Chain A
C-alpha cells in the first residue's frame, strides 16, 4: 500500500505496551481499520475507528486518530506472546475498497 505507511518491525518485551503507527493519505476515508495476521493465517479484524473520533478503546487495544496529520496508532497494553503477528492498518475508499499499509511485524520477547 503506497498510500498507507507503517513502520515494518517492532520488538517489545512481554508485559510492555506496543504502539504501532500508521499514516494514511485519503482524508475522505470514513473508517480506518486495524487487521492482525498471524503466520500463515488470514486477516483478523481487530478494531476500527470512525473518522470523527479521536480515540477508541476496546479491552487491551486503544486506537488514536489524528485526522489533521492523518496519523493512526494502535496501542496494545500488556503485550502477550500471542500478540506476535503482522498488523495492517487500512483505509477505505468511497467505493469500499481497502488499501493496506505494508504491515508491521510485532515480535514479543520474553
Chain B
C-alpha cells in the first residue's frame, strides 16, 4: 500500500539559511499534518491542513510557513534556520472528510541538521 512520502530524507543547512521540506500524502487523504521531533523527545505538532486550508496551528515558529497544494502535497518552508531547528520533521496524512475515525499515518521523516 502507498505510504506517506517525504523528501528529502536528510538535509544539512547552515544557520540563517532556508529549507523546504516536502510531503506527499497517501492517495485520497485530504489532511496533512507536520510534526517536529527533537533529539530524545516526542513529536510536537506544528501545523495541519485540510483540503488545502490551514486547519490548526501548534508550536510553529513565525520563521516557518507551510501550505498544501491542489494535488494535496504539502511543503514546510523554514527560514533563518537556527541550531535548535535541528530535528526530525514528520509529515502525516489522514482521510478526514466524512470519516468516523481519523488515523494519521506518518512518513519516514526528514532529518534536518543545522550547522
What residues of chain A have their CB less than 8 Å away from a CB belonging to chain B? 1, 30-31, 33, 35, 40-45, 48, 50, 88, 92, 95-103
A-side interface mostly:
strand
Our pick among A33, A44, A100 for the contact of B42 (Cβ within 8 Å) is A100
Chain B interface residues toward A at CB < 8 A? 31, 33, 35, 41-45, 48, 55-56, 58, 90, 92, 94, 96, 101-109, 111
Give how many A-B residue pairs fall within 8 Å (CB-CB).
62
Interface pair B94/A96, CB less than 8 Å apart? yes
A35 partner, pick from B56, B102, B106, B111, beta carbons under 8 A: B106
Q: A1 — nearest CB in chain B belongs to which residue? A: B42
Cβ–Cβ < 8 Å partners of A88 in chain B: 42-43
Q: Are A96 and B102 in contact (CB under 8 A)?
A: yes
**Contact among B42, B56, B103, B111 for A97, CB-based, below 8 A:** B56
7 shortest interchain CB distances as A-B pairs: A100-B42, A43-B106, A42-B108, A42-B109, A95-B56, A97-B45, A1-B42
Is there contact, CB below 8 Å, between A42 and B45?
Answer: no
